Amino acid sequence: MSNVELYSMSFCPFAQRARLMLRRKGVDFATHEIDVTKPRSASFLQINPEGKVPVIRHEGRVLNESSVICEYLEDAFPEPPTLPREPYTRALARIMVDHCNNQFVPLMYRLLMNQDRSADAKLIDQALATWRWVDELLSRHNPNGTFLDDRDGFSLAEINYAPFFQRYCLNEHYRGFRLPDEAGFARVRRFRDALLGDALVKETGMSDEDFIKLYFDYSLGFGNGSVPPGRERSSFDLSVPLAERPLPPAAPRAV
**Amino acid, res. 242:** L
Give 70-90 as a DSSP string. Answer: HHHHHHHS-SS--S-SSHHHH
Report the distance separating Cα 197 and Cα 220, nearest Å: 29
Non-local CB neighbours of 61 within 8 Å, separated by 6+ positions: none
Give the catalytic positions in this structure. Answer: 12
C-alpha closest to that of 88 among 80, 99, 79, 96: 96
Report the distance separating Cα 1 and Cα 99, nearest Å: 36
Task: Show the CA angle centred on residue 40, arms to residues 16 and 214, nearest 5°.
Answer: 45
Residue 45 near residue 59 (C-beta atoms within 8 A): no
- Secondary structure (3-state) at 63: strand
Burial class (CB in 10 A: 0-12, 13-18, 19+), 50: exposed
Give 143-161 as a DSSP string. Answer: TT-SSS-TTT-S-HHHHHH
The helix, strand and coil proportions of the chain, stated in percent and rounded to the nearest 5, come to 55, 5, 40
